[in-house]
Amino acid sequence: MKIVFNYLFISLLVFSMMSCETDIPEIDTTAPSFSFKITGDGFDRTFTQDDNLENIQLNLRAGTSYDFLLGGIDNGGVRQIQFQHTPDVTPINTPIPAPWVETNNGFSTTIRFNGDPNNAITAQLLSGTFTPMLMNEDVIADTFYIRVEDFGGESGPPFNITEGVLNITIAEQPTAVINL
């Protein structure tokens, strides 16, 4: 399964690198979108901005490795993509590739892509592996935060922003999505 996932990611990356340059429109009122795919422990699901994220919870099995693929998309050009997680609870086991930048404030880690208005692209992908950890707890509740921002058109701000918060619970439990 991991080989298929990696092959799919490489194919998407090559395709996106060949076809995602774009011109920023004069006015852009269309919000960007995101896709966040998680696979592992027999689980395979893609979360988007269209999911009712505030009413679902992702249960993750502690100590189990999961692959993820995050994509931010906007036909008028992606200005910024952010992925925020807690490194002690959901450490990412793979190096963060350029052009993504990783910063840590001591409590959370933000992985960020910054687009270039002079070389705007419609999409950017990030893939990796993370392993949820319990530390000294029986259950840990946490979140994944995703934000995608476009250029707002040639005329500039306001930028269109799409964001989502995925609630996660880490325990000795099967991986599943629970409706709240």
Q: What is the CATH number of the domain that holds 107?
A: 2.60.40.740
Given pLDDT bands bounded at 50, 70 and 90, which one contains residue 21? confident
DSSP code of 21? B
Counting Cβ atoms within 10 Å, is residue 172 exposed (0-12), middle (13-18) or buried (19+)? exposed
Residue 162 CA to its chain's centroid (Å): 12
pTM of the model: 0.87
Structural domain count of the chain: 1
pLDDT in tens, 70-109: 999 999 999 999 999 999 999 999 999 999 999 999 999 9
Kindly report which listed range (2-6, 41-45, 106-110) carries the lowest average pLDDT score.
Answer: 2-6
Structure tokens at 81: 């993509």
Q: Mean of the pLDDT values across residues 61-68?
A: 98
For residue 123, the enclosing domain spans: 2-179
Residue 3 has pLDDT above 70, yes or no: no
